[in-house]
C-alpha cells in the first residue's frame, strides 16, 4: 500500500519569524491527522528552527535542494549528511532548479543517488515545460534521474509529477490528465513508489486530485505558506485517502 503524502514547498519565502509562526500554526492544526505523511520543506536556514517547533514525529521535514558531495570545499553548498541530521526528505530536480540554476538530468541523477546513500528520501521532480498532451518528456526525465539506481531502491524514493506550465500559474493540470501521465511514469518501475502531483494545488481543487487512486500525494508551493489553505489541503487528503484505504 503506497502511503499518502502532502509536501509543502515554502520555496524562498518566509523570514525567521514567519517560519516560526507558520510552523507553530501547522503543528497545532495538523496534530490530529495520522492518516497522511505531512512534509514541510522550509528554506534550509530555517529547517532547524522549524524542527524545534514541530519536533520529530507527526510532521516530517525536507530540504528544497542539496549538493551531491558529502563534504568538502564547496562554499555555499549543503551536504546530504547535514540535511540528514535535521530532515528526512529532500526535493531534487525541481523545475526552478533546472531552469534558474542549470541543473541537468545528470546532476539530478547524481543528487538522487547521493540522497539515497545518505539515507534521505529524495522527492524527484519531473514535468514537461509546455502544455501538451505528451508524457514523453517527464518519462525521459524520470528515466534519466533513476539511471543506475537498483530497482529495489525505488520504494525509497518519491516522485513528483509537476508540469512546469502548471507551477505557480493557477492553471492546474486536469486530474484525469495527471492520472494518465502517472500511469506512464509507473511503467518505469514505480509500482510501489509514491507519486505526487504538483502545480497550482489549492484547497478548492485538492478534492479532485484526492479522488484519483493513481495520485498518492501532492507537492504544494504557493498554498503551503498560507496556513489555513495548507491545513485544508492536508485535511482533505488525509480524509479521502484514509477512506479509500479502508474501502
Positions that interact with ligand PGA (CB under 6 A): 9, 162, 167-168, 198-201, 219-223
CB of 93 to ligand PGA, least distance (A): 11
Q: Which of 162, 214, 229, 235 is catalytic?
A: 162
242 catalytic residue (yes or no): no
Looking at beta carbons only, is 188 or 196 nearer to ligand PGA? 196
Q: Of the listed 60, 94, 110, 141, which one is catalytic? A: 94
Residue 7, C-alpha cell as written in the block: 509536501
In the complex with ligand PGA, the residue whose CB is nearer, 14 or 200, is: 200
Minimum distance from CB of 89 to ligand PGA (Å)? 13
Nearest residue to ligand PGA, by Cβ distance, number only: 221
CB 246 to ligand PGA: min, Å: 29
Comparison of 31 and 225: residue with beta carbon closer to ligand PGA: 225
162 is catalytic: yes
**Cβ 221 to ligand PGA shortest distance, Å:** 2
Nearer to ligand PGA, 129 or 152 (CB): 129
Amino acid at each position: 500500500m503506497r502511503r499518502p503524502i502532502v509536501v509543502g514547498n515554502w520555496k524562498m519565502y518566509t523570514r525567521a519569524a514567519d517560519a516560526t509562526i507558520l510552523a507553530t500554526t501547522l503543528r497545532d492544526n495538523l496534530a490530529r491527522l495520522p492518516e497522511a505523511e505531512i512534509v514541510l520543506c522550509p528554506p534550509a536556514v530555517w529547517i532547524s528552527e522549524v524542527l524545534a517547533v514541530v519536533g520529530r514525529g507527526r510532521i516530517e521535514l525536507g530540504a528544497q535542494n542539496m549538493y551531491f558531495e558529502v563534504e568538502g570545499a564547496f562554499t555555499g553548498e549543503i551536504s546530504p549528511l547535514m540535511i540528514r541530521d535535521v530532515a528526512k526528505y529532500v526535493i531534487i530536480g525541481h523545475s526552478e532548479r533546472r531552469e534558474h540554476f542549470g541543473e541537468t538530468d545528470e546532476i539530478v541523477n547524481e543528487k538522487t543517488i547521493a540522497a539515497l546513500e545518505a539515507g534521505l528520501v529524495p522527492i524527484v521532480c519531473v514535468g514537461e515545460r509546455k502544455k501538451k498532451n505528451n508524457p514523453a518528456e517527464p518519462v525521459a526525465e524520470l528515466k534519466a534521474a533513476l539511471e543506475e539506481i537498483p530497482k529495489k531502491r525505488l520504494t525509497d524514493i518519491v516522485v513528483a509529477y509537476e508540469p512546469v506550465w502548471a507551477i505557480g500559474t493557477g492553471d492546474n493540470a486536469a486530474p484525469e490528465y495527471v492520472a494518465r501521465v502517472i500511469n506512464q511514469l509507473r511503467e518505469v518501475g514505480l509500482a510501489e513508489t509514491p507519486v505526487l502531483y504538483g502545480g497550482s494545488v489549492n484547497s478548492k481543487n485538492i478534492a479532485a486530485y484526492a479522488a484519483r487512486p493513481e495520485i498518492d500525494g501532492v507537492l504544494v508551493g504557493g498554498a503551503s505558506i498560507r496556513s489555513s489553505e495548507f491545513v485544508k489541503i492536508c485535511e482533505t487528503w488525509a480524509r479521502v485517502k484514509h477512506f479509500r484505504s479502508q474501502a
